[in-house]
């Protein structure tokens, strides 16, 4: 996957800079997401990894995406096809979404708790996390009884384990060492 990320980064960066210049970041995000999902399709992925001519690969993606791709999106697909990089299209979409979130100063935060959080708890958690990360927080809550109590918060590379299960595990490690 890291190889695809390396291949995808220049395309995602160029697309993002173009979208910023034109003021169409949301449109490009949707366009690339759709094209990335198309490229993940089993049949399409097989064609993209085969020895099919670059023009045919680009044509296939453009036909399947139809109106979802504007002329600039079609040009990106054609350039990636010429360079035999269409297989990296899902990674381009992911990187573009990351660039967009960074640009919008947003962060997706996953919160796992033992019981469902009340709206007031979610609001106070969002306020605290926005203060900590200095970004708008999009909260994704889930329930897992294995947590026992407390919360596990995941935001990007940051994990805050305030669960009882996590505390018991850390205590067990401390006692064993």
User: Which domain range does residue 86 map to?
Assistant: 2-102
Whether residues 27 and 90 fall in one domain: yes
Residue 47's CATH number: 1.10.520.20
Same domain, 30 and 111: no
CATH code of the domain covering residue 118: 3.40.30
Q: Which residue has the tokens 């002329």?
A: 71
Q: Which of 83, 102, 121 is the last residue of a domain?
A: 102
For the chain, the residue count is 177
Domain count within the chain = 2
Number of H helices and E strands in the chain, helices first, is 8, 4
In this structure, are 93 and 121 located in the same domain?
no
> How far is 45 from 86, CA to CA, in rounded Å?
9
Out of 38, 69, 102, pick the residue that ends a domain.
Answer: 102
What is the rounded CA–CA span in Å between residue 91 and residue 76? Answer: 14
Q: Which residue has the tokens 């033992």?
A: 114
The pLDDT tens digits for 106-133 are 888 999 998 999 999 999 999 999 999 8
Q: Which of 102, 135, 154 is the last residue of a domain?
A: 102
Do 69 and 137 fall within a single domain? Answer: no
The vertex-142 CA angle with 105 and 38, nearest 5°, equals 65
Q: In whole angstroms, give the CA distance from residue 12 to residue 6.
A: 10
- CA-to-CA separations, 57 to 6, 51, 62, 105, 135, in angstroms, rounded: 21, 10, 9, 35, 39
Q: Is the pLDDT assigned to residue 91 strictly greater than 70?
A: yes
Phi, psi dihedral angles at 105 (to 5 degrees): 55, 50
The 10s digit of each residue's pLDDT in 154-177 is 988 889 998 888 888 899 999 998
Residue 1, pLDDT > 60, answer: no
């Amino acid at each position: 996957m890291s190889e695809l990320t390396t291949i995808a980064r220049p395309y995602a960066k160029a697309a993002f800079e173009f979208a910023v210049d034109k003021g169409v970041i949301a449109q490009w995000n949707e366009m690339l997401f759709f094209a990335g999902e198309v490229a993940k399709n089993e049949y399409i992925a097989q064609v993209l990894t085969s020895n099919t001519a670059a023009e045919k690969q680009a044509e296939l993606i453009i036909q399947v995406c139809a109106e979802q791709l504007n002329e600039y999106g079609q040009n990106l697909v054609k350039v990636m096809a010429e360079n035999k990089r269409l297989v990296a299209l899902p990674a381009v979409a992911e990187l573009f979404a990351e660039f967009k979130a960074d640009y919008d100063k947003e962060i997706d935060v996953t919160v796992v708790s033992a019981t469902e959080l009340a709206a007031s708890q979610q609001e106070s958690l969002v306020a605290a996390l926005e203060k900590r990360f200095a970004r708008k927080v999009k909260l994704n809550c889930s329930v897992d009884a294995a947590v026992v109590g407390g919360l596990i918060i995941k935001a990007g590379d940051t994990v805050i384990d305030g669960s009882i299960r996590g505390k018991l595990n850390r205590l067990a490690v401390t006692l064993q060492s």
